[in-house]
Amino acid sequence: MSTADAFHVYDTTLRDGAQQEGLNLSVADKLAIARHIDGLGVGFIEGGWPGANPKDTEFFAKARDELKLQNAQLAAFGATRRAGMKAADDPLVAALRESGAPVVTLVAKSHDRHVELALRTTLEENLAMVRDTVSHLTAEGQRVFLDAEHFFNGYRDNRDYALEVLRVAFEAGAEVAALCDTNGGMLPNWVSDVVDDVVSTTGGRIGIHAHNDTGCAVANSLAAVDAGATHVQGCINGYGERTGNADLINVVANLELKLDRQVLPAGLLRDATRIAHAVAEVTNVPPSSRQPYVGVSAFAHKAGLHASAIKVDPNLYQHMEPEGVGNDMRLLVSDMAGRASIELKGKELGFDLGPEVIASVTARVKELEQRGYTFDAADASFELLLAEQVEGVRPSYFEIESWRVITDSASDAEAGSEATVKLMAGGERLVMVGEGNGPVNALDHALRQAIERLYPEVVKFELIDYKVRIVDQGHGTDAITRVLIETSDGESSWVTVGVGHNVIEASWEALIDGLTFGLRRHDA
């Protein structure tokens, strides 16, 4: 039996995590996040609710052609059929069938009061809804998991009915019943007692879906596993509504590194830090520096007694080797080089880095990070940096002489921008003026128009995503700005980073890297 079959690691960042206040994901964002999460080696990625949400319907349609998962299976989320209707006739159930997802996760009411007050139907009809929907989808060839909503509260109020919902689901063909602490009010020993009873009573495969309202989501998940659960759900970086869901990286890191349970493919946990930060860049939610395992402060040690002890033996003041999750140990007086991460990332990008190159790249990355850069999501900029260190010269297809941009607006019209770019390429001096609905758009047009005769590939290049973050917010209008730009050639996409004292300067740097990387890729 494979790791994925023996123990389910189920990610719901794209659905439950996306319910976090202020988090708004485009379809392109969701596809990018799914690729990152797949790299962690999870068994299942829940993509959203097709049929109920147009964006999620589009996601599953695009995923068929654009999402090539190496480790995970895609799961579509939905509800049991509506009361008084056959599952085969329910349009929302049809959307689950037509999603193309090999797995369907059905949410079902397991709390009697919710059945009567929220669904406004009888307890018997709710059981029929579970039985009919599960049996219909399994007959259509899809694997079915059940999310038993409000299970722990329902168990306390009416144990027999809560267990009957699970029994009916298993009997109809559900592979897993995930017990949901939907309100997030449970504590570990309570979870352990309930899961132990459910496992012994039902004999079915039990999972846990924990929310963090008591600050115990990770602990509750571990308690459930200790009591016999073999399916855990959570979100990268603990995203989710209210106070969030169980942080999936914390759960799997504790299972593998503390409890010696192999729940991911061997070695993939070493990418956890990079993936957590890459997902944070896509969501545009700043990662917490104090996040366990993957935060930049997770293995940081301040000068004094700690620093002296760390020099003798790093394990005197840290609970594990940070390389196990792809992180670095840091001394806050003199940062220690994160060579392991550089070497791993270099190998991923196809570079065989020697010790001297690793040292120089590490020093360069540290220097740039101090100035506000991040390469966790900007793989293209990092690859250009690596190429510069390995080849001795930064890849370049044109030399910028100067650029400027003007934005004006009449009282009765929208603002428009005009950019002028002067550069040398192919032995020629080229001057081009571009117009756009904003300064970055105008610069992008001018730059690509200037070089498209020499490099016709750029006609296919398109800026598809643009994110801005203020790095040092305490400096007000004098703060450093970081820009991430995603560029596509119609077949793949890449992300570049720029940093500057104003958003235009930072955007220009990211634009240059984006075009340079694209041309380098097409040359190769």
pLDDT tens for 239-251 read: 999 999 999 999 9
What confidence category does residue 127 fall into, taking pLDDT thresholds of 50, 70 and 90?
very high
Which residues have CB under 8 Å from 450's CB, separation 6+?
398, 421, 423, 425, 430, 431, 432
Residue 456 DSSP SS3 = helix
H helices then E strands: how many in the chain? 18, 16
Alpha helices in 239-378 (DSSP H): 248-253, 272-283, 305-312, 339-348, 355-370
End-to-end CA distance of the chain: 40
How far apart CA 148 and CA 204 sit, in angstroms, is 13
Task: Look over the chain and give the mean of its residue pLDDT values, rounded to a whole number.
Answer: 90
Instruction: Answer whether residue 334 shows pLDDT above 50.
Output: no
Instruction: Answer whether residue 333 shows pLDDT above 50.
Output: no
pTM over 0.85: no
Please count the residues of the chain. 524
Q: Give the residue, 211 or 371, on which the prediction is more confident.
A: 211
CATH 4.10.430.20 maps onto the chain at 299-336
How far apart CA 337 and CA 348 sit, in angstroms, is 19
16-25, 285-294, 369-378, range with greatest mean pLDDT: 16-25
Per-residue confidence (pLDDT) for residue 154, from 0 to 100: 96
What confidence category does residue 398 fall into, taking pLDDT thresholds of 50, 70 and 90?
very high
pLDDT in tens, 417-466: 999 999 999 899 999 999 988 899 999 999 999 999 999 999 999 888 89
Per-residue confidence (pLDDT) for residue 340, from 0 to 100: 59
CATH 3.30.160.270 maps onto the chain at 399-523
What confidence category does residue 358 fall into, taking pLDDT thresholds of 50, 70 and 90?
confident
Residue 450 to residues 183, 302, 464, 466, Cα–Cα distance (Å): 57, 51, 20, 22
Per-residue confidence (pLDDT) for residue 112, from 0 to 100: 94
Neighbours of 316 (CB within 10 A): 13
In the β-sheet with 493-500, what is the strand arrangement from edge to edge? 462-470, 481-488, 493-500
Instruction: Answer whether residue 379 shows pLDDT above 70.
Output: yes
Per-residue confidence (pLDDT) for residue 335, from 0 to 100: 37
Instruction: Answer whether residue 303 shows pLDDT above 60.
Output: no
Per-residue confidence (pLDDT) for residue 12, from 0 to 100: 98
Given this structure, which CATH class describes domain 399-523? alpha beta
Instruction: Answer whether residue 121 shows pLDDT above 60.
Output: yes
CATH of domain 5-283: 3.20.20.70
**CATH architecture, range 299-336:** Irregular (4.10)
What is the token pair recorded at 300?
Answer: 């940081």
Share of the chain above pLDDT 70, in %: 92
CATH 3.20.20.70 maps onto the chain at 5-283
What is the token pair recorded at 431?
Answer: 């001057």
Per-residue confidence (pLDDT) for residue 11, from 0 to 100: 98
